[in-house]
């Protein structure tokens, strides 16, 4: 039988049982109610009418007046219409005959007294008949109640036993197959693909069992066919990781070492500890280098480690392992990703570090060697421009001027290369002294004042009052301001203006240079402070070496400051840096 039909039969049976119990209850309750209504309607009303007539005779003297006669007659008529008990009719007729004498005005007083006495006797008889009827009907009602209680108790007990048996046994038809199916699913989730389900009855659960067995068989076939392939791929990946020259460490979300190649073991001196499977906390207790590598926030940091008899340089890369997780609680269903651990890679950058150092040394040497001949060239150009040596024609003066400009440019690039070599080798010499922000500004403006006047560019200075002093290297900070001003002059049109401003922002002092040139496109702004980067020009402005802003950033960063740019096409550019204010 199908599960649907079982449920229908079960709930149909429950409906019949409840209907049977309800019908019996309604029948007996209705019978008890009818008995109570009969007592109230018949006998109690007769007693009420008798009491009314007795009250009239008790309160009025003979002969009765018209009002008393009318009231007595009215109650008598009601009693005549409410005769319900055997013998009550004859008694009422006799009462009517006595009342006829009482209301007869021609009857003598003794006759009326005799009639009153008879009427009282008949009233007592009416009351007695009805009281006996009330007792009799009350006993019958109690009997009905007892009978109803017995039948309802038997019906309730039978209903309770039936429902209890149903509630105990019927859910088993549904829950037992479901529990069997749940057990099978749990076994499958544990990769026990030999699990099978067997249902004796031919219903939907039997169909589900057959489908489950078919699924388990297919999973078993798939598992057997793919285990060797998976193991082969796993061995291949482990071999690749093992043979890589970079140190690789895998750590799961429980902070346990998943894998570690031989390079990492040798580098971290972990050959004897067999770290695979151990917790990170256990290894870091005795290995500070491993602790430094696995600490948070160390990604991108370089490490200098003594390996193979020499100092080697390594760059730490951290990759988070993300695995998909199906979120079934949301609508629509979302496949999210959760972290399953991290992979730490120590890339050997010793060769690149050595090449970078060689490049830096080469730049420093070349720059130093170029300073002498360039200075000699400038001296010769100065002598050529002196009239005491001889006069130059107009074309020669122009040539000397161009050579002088190019020499200045070469000398500036040489100085920038020397500064760059200091930055790259970490040999920046900073001389921190307390200084007034306005002093640095005046020095920078004075340095480029002649060039600005030659181009007709006005320099407006805005200095906020009561600025705090700053602890900085005055020379290098002024160099940054001069670099900002030189760039602003280069890209400003003649007869324009440049705004130089110093303000305080919280605990920082901000220096800014604002020009009104064509501005810088947003795609280039993020790279302005990169070394050797130059914004493409239209040929009207000579580009520099691409080192000035990079060196400026290094100088400001070395003084715990911040440097940035704001620019928009057609509105000009604003370069600024901020330095910490001294505590007052």
Q: What is the 3-state secondary structure (H, E, C) of 421-465?
A: HHHHCCCCCCCEEEECHHHHHHHHHHHHHHHHHHHCCEEEEEECC
Q: What is the pLDDT of residue 481?
A: 93
The span from the CA of 279 to the CA of 284, in Å, is: 9
Q: In sequence order, what are the beta bridge partners of 463?
A: 502
CATH of 354-423 among 1.10.3470, 1.10.1740, 1.10.287, 3.30.750: 1.10.287
Q: In sequence order, what are the beta bridge partners of 320?
A: 342
Over residues 118-176, the pLDDT tens digits come to 877 888 887 787 787 778 777 777 777 777 777 777 777 877 777 777 677 666 666 67
Q: Residue written as tokens 């702004």?
A: 525
Mean pLDDT of 106-122: 79
The span from the CA of 470 to the CA of 461, in Å, is: 19
Residues ≥6 apart with Cβ < 8 Å to 229: none
The span from the CA of 174 to the CA of 124, in Å, is: 72
Q: What is the pLDDT of residue 122?
A: 80
- Distance between alpha carbon 434 and the CA centroid of its chain, in Å? 49
Residue 37 has pLDDT above 70, yes or no: no
Q: 340-378: buried (b, 16+ CB within 10 Å) or exposed (e) per residue?
A: ebbbbbbbbbbeebeeeeeebeebbeebeebbeebeebb
Q: 293-328: buried (b, 16+ CB within 10 Å) or exposed (e) per residue?
A: bbeeeeeeeebeeeeeeeebbbbbebeebeeeeeee
The span from the CA of 315 to the CA of 330, in Å, is: 41
The span from the CA of 489 to the CA of 514, in Å, is: 10
Q: What is the pLDDT of residue 240?
A: 78
Q: Which of 34-43, 316-325, 332-341, 348-357 has the lowest mean pLDDT?
A: 34-43
CATH class in words for 3-174: mainly alpha
Domain ranges of the chain: 3-174, 246-347, 354-423, 432-580
Do you find a cis peptide bond into 63, omega within 30 degrees of 0?
Answer: yes
Residues ≥6 apart with Cβ < 8 Å to 39: 134, 137, 138, 141
Q: What is the pLDDT of residue 471?
A: 93
Which two three-digit tokens encode residue 93?
A: 């007729």
Position with higher pLDDT, 324 vs 485: 485
Q: In sequence order, what are the beta bridge partners of 338?
A: 323
CATH of 432-580 among 3.40.50.1170, 3.40.50.300, 3.20.20.70, 3.30.565.10: 3.30.565.10
Q: What is the DSSP string of 254-323?
A: TSBEEEE-HHHHHHHT-TTT--TTSBHHHHHTT-HHHHHHHSTT-TT-EEEEEETTEEEEEEEEEEEEEE
Residue 411 has pLDDT above 60, yes or no: yes
Is 579 within 8 Å of 504 (Cβ atoms)?
no
Q: Residue written as tokens 């429950």?
A: 14
Q: What is the pLDDT of residue 195?
A: 75
Over residues 196-229, the pLDDT tens digits come to 777 666 666 677 777 877 787 777 777 666 666 7
DSSP designation for 566: E
Q: What is the pLDDT of residue 488?
A: 93
CATH topology of domain 246-347: Beta-Lactamase (3.30.450)
């Amino acid at each position: 039988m199908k599960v649907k039909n079982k449920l229908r039969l079960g709930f149909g049976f429950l409906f019949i049982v409840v209907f049977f119990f309800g019908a019996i209850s309604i029948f007996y309750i209705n019978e008890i109610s009818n008995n109570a209504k009969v007592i109230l309607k018949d006998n109690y009303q007769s007693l009420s009418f008798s009491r009314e007539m007795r009250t009239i005779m008790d309160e009025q003297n003979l002969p009765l007046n018209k009002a008393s006669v009318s009231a007595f007659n009215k109650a008598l008529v009601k009693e005549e219409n409410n005769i319900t008990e055997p013998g009550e009719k004859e008694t009422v007729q006799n009462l009517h005959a006595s009342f006829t004498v009482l209301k007869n005005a021609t009857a003598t007083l003794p006759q009326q007294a005799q009639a009153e006495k008879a009427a009282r006797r008949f009233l007592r008889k009416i009351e007695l008949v009805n009281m006996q009827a009330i007792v009799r009907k009350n006993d019958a009602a109690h009997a009905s109640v007892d009978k109803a209680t017995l039948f309802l108790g038997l019906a309730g007990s039978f209903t309770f036993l039936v429902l209890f048996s149903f509630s105990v046994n019927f859910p088993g038809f549904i829950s037992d197959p479901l529990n069997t199916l749940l057990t099978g699913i749990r076994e499958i989730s544990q990769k026990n693909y030999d699990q099978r389900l067997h249902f004796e009855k031919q219903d939907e659960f039997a169909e589900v069992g057959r489908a489950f067995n078919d699924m388990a068989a297919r999973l078993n076939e798939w598992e057997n066919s793919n285990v060797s392939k998976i193991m082969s791929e796993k061995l291949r990946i482990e071999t690749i990781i093992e043979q890589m020259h970079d140190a690789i460490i895998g750590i799961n979300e429980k902070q346990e070492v998943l894998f570690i190649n031989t390079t990492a073991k040798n580098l971290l001196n972990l050959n004897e500890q067999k770290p695979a499977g151990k917790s990170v906390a256990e290894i870091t207790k005795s290995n500070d280098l491993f602790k430094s590598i696995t600490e948070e926030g160390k990604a991108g940091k370089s490490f200098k480690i003594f390996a193979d008899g020499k100092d080697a340089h390594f760059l730490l890369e951290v990759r988070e392992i993300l695995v998909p997780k199906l979120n079934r609680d949301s609508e629509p269903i979302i496949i999210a990703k959760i972290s399953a651990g991290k992979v730490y890679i120590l890339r050997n950058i010793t060769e690149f570090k050595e090449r970078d150092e060689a490049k830096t040394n080469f730049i420093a040497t070349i720059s130093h060697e170029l300073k002498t001949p360039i200075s000699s060239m400038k001296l010769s150009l100065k002598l050529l421009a002196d009239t005491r040596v001889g006069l130059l024609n107009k074309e020669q003066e122009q040539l000397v001027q161009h050579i002088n400009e190019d020499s200045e440019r070469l000398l500036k690039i040489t100085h920038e290369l020397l500064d760059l070599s200091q930055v790259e080798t970490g040999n920046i010499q900073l001389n921190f002294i307390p200084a007034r922000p306005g002093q640095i500004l005046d020095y920078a403006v004075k340095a480029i004042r002649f060039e600005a006047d030659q181009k007709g560019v006005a320099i407006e200075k805005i200095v906020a009052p009561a600025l705090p002093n700053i602890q900085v290297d005055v020379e290098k900070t002024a160099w940054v301001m001069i670099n900002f001003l030189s760039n602003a002059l280069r890209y400003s049109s003649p007869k324009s203006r440049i705004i130089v401003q110093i303000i305080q922002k919280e605990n920082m002092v901000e220096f800014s240079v604002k020009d009104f040139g064509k501005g810088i496109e947003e795609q280039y702004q993020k790279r302005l402070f990169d070394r050797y980067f130059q914004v493409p020009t239209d040929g009207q402005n000579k580009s520099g070496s691409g080192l000035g802003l990079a060196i400026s950033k290094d100088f400001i960063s070395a003084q715990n400051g911040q440097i940035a740019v704001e620019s928009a096409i057609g509105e000009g550019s604003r370069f600024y840096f901020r330095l910490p204010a001294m505590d007052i």
